[in-house]
Amino acid sequence: MYTIETGIYSVFIAFVINVILCPVIIPFLHRLKFGQPIREEGPQSHQKKSGTPTMGGVMILLAFLISAALFLKGNTDAAVVVVITTLYGVIGFIDDYIKVVKKHNLGLRAWQKIVFQVLVTAGFAWYILKYAGLGTKVYVPFMHGFQFDLGYLYVPFLFFVMVGTVNAVNLTDGLDGLASGVTLLVAVFFLFAALSAGSGLVPVCGAAAGALLGFLLFNSNPARVFMGDTGSLALGGFVASTAVLLKMPLMIIIVGGIYLCEALSVMLQVGYFKISGGKRIFKMAPIHHHFEMCGMSETKVVTLFYVVTALLCLVGYLASKGMFAA
């Protein structure tokens, strides 16, 4: 059984690794001209960010992998989270490589991303059903440990959670420090949930939190590096796989409320645009850009989303009471 000390050690190790890696790799990315292309239809204030190196998710992944690997000790569930996180990161890396190195602005096509994500999720579903011994029950928030049996609906539900979360985190990565800071708070929540459950996921949650802490030093406004899809897809994979293995996928709706709002804002905007013949609900989607277009500074939007996530994690703590009483 892992203790709080294990979590703290994994946090510090990943943090230190990223503090060392970032100053070394960022200039290297500059020399390779791995600059982030900025959308012309986005807020004009973002045009000054053009050329800021991307693919910084590689540093998040490296710090996460090294720190987590030191504590695995045959822990299969933790190893699976590491593998899933890495595979989603690889999908993001391919997308970033096409956009930045090959200079194809769109990167992977949407259907290609989905196909890769479904394949990774299929492997995860196979592990869950054949080896994890979790069954098909999930904890229901605010129900004091009650588990609802999804039965045959579990597999489609799993695919929805994994692919939906990964892409929602990807949409959240649009402002300096936004996705990294929000996911840091979510990772800390799952760290304490894993501790309460006596789960072997403690070190991977700590490694994710530490890697993000170190990365934030260089990703906060004004960002010296962006995580790119390499980072955002990997983080989405981490959040979703961790929640599933803790039997807490429904908690993503609460603690990952910002992810949900970002994804819904895009779906509503696109849907209404098509139905209304060109009208919009938001000034720009995802919703963080809407706040910017309403006059809020980028740093204020990011701070607001941090505060909301912190409050949602507190709500998540109340919602999870009784889940691990046994």
pLDDT at 46: 56
Cα(314)–Cα(322) distance, rounded to whole angstroms?
A: 15
What pLDDT sits at residue 32? 73
Please report the sign of the dihedral spanned by the C-alpha atoms of residue 26, residue 240, residue 85, residue 108: negative
pLDDT confidence of residue 52:
86
DSSP conformational letter for 175 = S
What does each C-alpha distance from 126 to 120, 157, 244, 268 come to in angstroms? Answer: 10, 14, 13, 33
State how far the Cα of 154 lies from the Cα of 108, in Å rounded to an integer: 29
- What's the pLDDT at 51? 73
Alpha helices in 128-280 (DSSP H): 154-172, 178-197, 202-219, 228-245, 251-255, 257-276
pLDDT in tens, the chain (326 residues): 688 899 999 999 999 999 999 999 999 887 776 665 555 555 655 556 667 888 999 999 999 999 999 999 889 999 999 999 999 999 999 999 888 877 666 778 889 999 999 999 999 999 999 998 899 999 999 998 999 999 999 999 999 999 999 999 999 998 999 999 999 999 999 999 999 999 999 999 999 999 999 999 999 999 999 999 999 999 999 999 999 999 999 999 999 999 999 999 999 999 999 999 889 999 999 999 999 999 999 999 999 999 999 999 999 999 998 887 54
Backbone conformation region of residue 36, classed left if phi is above 0, alpha if psi is from -120 to 50, else beta: beta
Q: How far apart are CA 48 and CA 107, in angstroms?
A: 22
pLDDT of residue 323: 81
Q: Would you state the pLDDT for residue 326?
A: 43
